[in-house]
Amino acid sequence: INDVDYRDWSLQALQSNLGVVLQSSHLFAGTIADNIRYGDLPADQDQILVAAKQAGAHDVIIAMPLGYETVIGEGGSSLSAGQKQLISFARALLADPQILIMDEATSSVDTLTEARIEQGLRALLKDRISVIIAHRLSTIRHAHQIVVIDDGRIIEQGNHDELITRRGRYYHLFQQQSLSNLWQQAEPINVEQPDGI
C-alpha cells in the first residue's frame, strides 16, 4: 500500500488507515455532529464542519431542525437514505483513511439523490486508495481502474472510456443503466382523453 508491504503493518495501524462506507452505514443515537465525529473522536466543531462541507452534507444538515445538534435515534431511522450516506461520507472524510472500501455505498438511494451526493463521493475518493464495489456504474465512472467481475471471474478491466470503447459487458450494462436513469428522471406526460373515451 503506497509502496509499503501491508504485512509489515500492525493490526492497529492497518485498522486506523482503513475506512469503510457500506450500503447501509450505521448511525448511532446522538447528534449529527457526534455521528460525524465518530470518524475522529478528538475532532473539534471546525473539523466536523470542513468534513461535512467537503462531503456535500453541510446544506442537508443545516436544513435540519437543530442543524449539527439535531438528535437522531439508533440507526438514524428519521433520516432518508441519502442523508445517512452523506453523514457517513463526512465521517469517513474526517477519519481521513489511506485506504477506503465502499460496498454498494450509493445503491440505496435514487438516481436524483445520487447526483446530489456525487460531490461527497468525489471528495471522499480523492488522494486515497479506494476499492469500490458497485452495481450502479455511475459510482465508478471516474475510477482510474475498473474491474468487471461476472460469476466470480474478471471479464474486463480498464478505465470507463476504455471499457466503453471495447463495447463489452461494461458497455452494455452502462447503456442499460443510462436508459433506466433517463426514464426515472423523465417528467410524466399528461395525455388528455377526448370526451366519450
Cell digits for 72?
437522531
Query: Hey, where are the domains in the chain?
Result: 17-136, 144-184
Looking at residue 132, its pLDDT comes to: 86
Show Cβ contacts of residue 156 under 8 Å, excluding neighbours closer than 6 positions.
146, 147, 148, 163, 166, 168, 169, 170
d(CA 176, CA 136): 11
Looking at residue 149, its pLDDT comes to: 92
Looking at residue 150, its pLDDT comes to: 92
Looking at residue 160, its pLDDT comes to: 94
| Residue ranges of the chain whose pLDDT lies below 50 | none
Residues 12-55: pLDDT tens digits? 888 888 888 888 778 999 999 999 999 888 999 999 999 999 88
- The dihedral through the CA atoms of 119, 39, 100, 180 has a sign that is negative
CATH: 3.30.300.160, 3.40.190.10, 3.10.450.50, 3.40.50.300. Which one for 17-136? Answer: 3.40.50.300
Looking at residue 91, its pLDDT comes to: 93
Looking at residue 147, its pLDDT comes to: 94
d(CA 53, CA 61): 10
